[in-house]
Every structure is written in C-alpha cells, then in structure tokens.
Structure 1
Amino acid sequence: MQATAYTYDPETRSGSVLLDDGTPVEFDAAAFDAGGLRLLRPGQRVRIEYAAAGPAEGEGGGGPGGGRRVSLVTLQTF
C-alpha cells in the first residue's frame, strides 16, 4: 500500500504516514528497521505493509481494518 511520510522521529525511529485518503497510520521502530531506511523526510512517498496484530494489540489498532499493524516502511519505487 502506498502512503506519504507525515512524521518521523530519528531518536525513536518511529512516526506516521498518511494514506492516500488522508488517514494517519503510525509505525514503530521495527517497521522502520524492516524497510532498511536510514532517514525519512515528511512528504516522501513510501510503501507500507501490514501484519496481523497479536492478541495483545487486539481491537482498533494500527490502521484500516483494525487489528493490523504496520510491519514495513520503505521508499516507494516507480
């Protein structure tokens, strides 16, 4: 799924992206690290992937469809 980088904190390596419909979705350091990026700037186009949430994350987490979390954030290539 494509999105646009919205926020990024280099200290925690976490942040958020905006889906094309404007929905904000947060990502954690594990998702950022999985994409192999070193830096992310607001406005960059990225590709995100979701993984099913574990039982502890349960309801409403992670983005569209609830119960999902971002597992990968990487640059969108054309």
Structure 2
Amino acid sequence: MQATAFTYDPETRGGSVLLDDGTPLPFDAAAFDAGGLRLLRPGQRVRIRTDGSADTRRVVFITLQTFPDPMGPKV
C-alpha cells in the first residue's frame, strides 16, 4: 500500500503517514526500523504494510517506494 509521509521525529523514529484518502496513520520506531530507512522527509511517497483494522490499524513496515518489501510480492 502507498502513502505519503506526514510527520517524522528523528529522535523517536516515529511519525505518521497520510493514506491516499487523507486518513492519518501513525507509525513507531519498530515500523521505521523494519523498512531499513535512516531518514524520512514529510511529503515523501512511501510504501507501508499495516496490521489490524479500523481503530486498531497500525503501520508495521514503512519504506520508500523504490525500496523492496521483503514480505511483498516478487517482481
């Protein structure tokens, strides 16, 4: 799934993304670390994986669109 980086705090390595429908969704350091990123700028397009649904939905993986998702489909 794709989204846009909305906020990012380099000290906590957490932040939030905006889904394409405008819904904000937070991510924590574990999700950031899973994607192999070192920095994220608001406005960057990202690839995410989520877990849960509705109010319990959370980002479990975030990386740049150009980086592979090891759990995603092979291209």
Amino acid in the other structure paired with 2:48: I
Structure whose residues are more often helix by fraction: 2
Give, in whole Å, the separation in 2 of the partners of 1:3 and 1:50: 11
3-state secondary structure, aligned to 1:66: helix
RMSD: 1.6
Alignment: residue pair count: 67
Q: How far is the alpha carbon of 1:66 from its aligned partner? A: 3.3
Give, in whole Å, the separation in 1 of the partners of 2:10 and 2:43: 16
- 1:72 paired to 2:40: no
Question: Which residue number in structure 2 is paired with residue 12 of structure 1?
Answer: 12
Q: How far is the alpha carbon of 1:68 from its aligned partner? A: 2.8
Question: Which residue number in structure 2 is paired with residue 31 of structure 1?
Answer: 31
Q: How far is the alpha carbon of 1:77 from its aligned partner? A: 2.2
Compute the TM-score of the two structures, normalised by the length of structure 1: 0.78
Provide structure 1 residue ranges, at least 5 long, that are not aligned to the other structure.
53-63
Compute the TM-score of the two structures, normalised by the length of structure 2: 0.81
Q: How far is the alpha carbon of 1:69 from its aligned partner? A: 1.9
